[in-house]
């Protein structure tokens, strides 16, 4: 887990999560990014990766957006400064990036979306903007200056005729400079503007989904009677930080503030795969089953459970996964750790293996 320094993880969850930003200096001391800028550029040449190239600066207020995949020629034709490359969903493909997610497992894993990695030359930025989701921004290399604001975070405050959702009016209230190993937490609807201070700037963004009321209604094939687009699910104060796959009763109660939804329906909703993950799993073929080996859940899989009395009810990729014949402790351990030893839990491992959900840890 990341190091919080002056505060405890419990203080963060109670006082900061979904409430206010926090800079955590040296949250990961001596951190070295698992992806270099050259490697990130290489990923952006591949069709499997969703990549974007942003050019511009707030000084000029001229911005351009180009979607990948790119070619090597793309990068030879760029100016020396003021551009940013962004690659989405890197955790699905690079194990070293996926393994970093556990540093943030004090937040339930079923709330997690993906890791986006950006590289920026000096002056590179994507402009001031705000989102409806939570994000931890881990500085991978180089330095970046961040400006934050809680003002004017409204849908009508944006630059017209610009292919990005960049704020027209942005009044900074906080200023931070970050270096490798620093983590900046930004909650929903807090505007942020990051500008690279050198040509070595990489940032890893760990994003946590925002469940809109509209999405929840659509998951149950229901009409949203309010039609209010800005209503979002709000987390409770998380207590059980050692069980990242657990959906506590408090979370389901929070969802029921928006609409009447059962535990089964909510578990199916939060573990439902997006199109990219579905495609990755469709093309995944597990090797021959080997006893006495350690296995791990495929990085594209989403897993969660809630408790019926003391028994876990498990959902994987939007579907109920029957574990009634297995030891409840072993099931919960697998859900929370996302790994399992075939030697100790052979039948459970075989069941997971047959459904192409796990693979051998090298």
Contact of 171 with 74, CB cutoff 8 Å: no
CA 186 – CA 314 distance, rounded (Å) = 31
| Chain length of the chain | 362
Q: What is the mean pLDDT of residues 93-110?
A: 97
Tracing tokens 């000096």 back to the chain, one arrives at 122
For the entire predicted model, the pTM comes to 0.96
- Is 70 exceeded by the pLDDT of residue 227? no
CA 203 – CA 140 distance, rounded (Å) = 5
Contact of 313 with 306, CB cutoff 8 Å: yes
CA 166 – CA 35 distance, rounded (Å) = 27
Domain with CATH 2.60.120.650 in the chain: 9-208
CA 54 – CA 81 distance, rounded (Å) = 11
Contact of 255 with 235, CB cutoff 8 Å: no
Structural tokens at position 310? 């003391």
Structure confidence by residue, pLDDT tens digits, 7-49: 999 999 999 999 999 999 999 999 999 999 999 999 999 999 9
Structural tokens at position 346? 């052979």
Q: Which pLDDT value is given to residue 226? A: 67
CA 208 – CA 112 distance, rounded (Å) = 4
Structural tokens at position 224? 């949203």
In the structure, what pLDDT confidence band is assigned to residue 225 with cuts at 50, 70 and 90? confident
Give start and end residues of each alpha helix (H) in the chain: 9-15, 37-43, 72-76, 95-98, 213-219, 249-255, 263-270, 275-282, 328-337, 346-354
- Is 80 exceeded by the pLDDT of residue 239? yes
* Assigned CATH topology for domain 9-208: Jelly Rolls (2.60.120)
Structural tokens at position 167? 């704020």
Mean of the per-residue pLDDT values of the chain: 95
């Amino acid at each position: 887990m990341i190091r919080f320094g002056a505060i405890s993880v419990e203080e963060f969850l109670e006082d900061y999560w979904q409430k206010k930003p926090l800079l955590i200096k040296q949250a990961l001391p001596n951190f070295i990014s698992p992806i270099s800028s050259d490697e990130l550029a290489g990923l952006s040449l591949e069709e499997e990766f969703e990549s974007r190239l942003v050019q511009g600066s707030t000084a000029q207020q001229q911005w351009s957006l180009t979607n990948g995949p790119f070619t090597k020629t793309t990068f030879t034709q760029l100016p020396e400064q003021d551009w940013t490359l962004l690659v989405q969903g890197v955790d699905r493909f690079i194990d070293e990036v996926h393994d970093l997610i556990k540093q943030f497992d004090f937040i339930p894993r079923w709330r997690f979306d993906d890791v986006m990695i950006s590289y920026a030359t000096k002056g590179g930025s994507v402009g001031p903007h705000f989102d409806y989701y939570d994000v931890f921004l881990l500085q991978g290399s180089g330095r970046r200056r961040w400006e934050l604001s809680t003002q004017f975070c409204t849908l009508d405050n944006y630059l017209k005729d610009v292919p990005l959702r960049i704020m027209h009016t942005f009044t900074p209230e906080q200023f931070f400079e970050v270096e490798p190993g620093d983590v900046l937490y930004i909650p929903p609807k807090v505007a942020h503007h990051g500008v690279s201070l050198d040509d070595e700037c990489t940032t890893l963004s760990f994003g946590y989904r925002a469940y809109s009321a509209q999405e929840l209604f659509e998951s149950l094939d229901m009409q949203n009677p309010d039609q209010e687009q800005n209503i979002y699910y709000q987390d409770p104060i998380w207590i059980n930080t050692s069980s990242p796959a657990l959906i506590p009763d408090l979370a389901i109660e929070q969802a029921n503030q928006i609409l009447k939804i059962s535990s089964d329906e909510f578990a199916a909703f939060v573990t439902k795969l997006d199109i990219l993950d579905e495609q990755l799993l469709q093309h995944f073929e597990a090797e021959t089953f080997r006893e006495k080996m350690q296995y791990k859940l495929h990085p594209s899989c989403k897993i969660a459970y809630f408790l019926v009395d003391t028994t876990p009810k498990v959902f994987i990729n939007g579907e109920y996964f029957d574990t009634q014949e297995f030891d409840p402790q072993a099931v919960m351990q697998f859900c929370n750790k996302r790994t399992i030893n075939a030697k100790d839990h052979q039948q459970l491992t075989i069941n997971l293996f047959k459904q192409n959900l796990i693979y051998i840890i090298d």
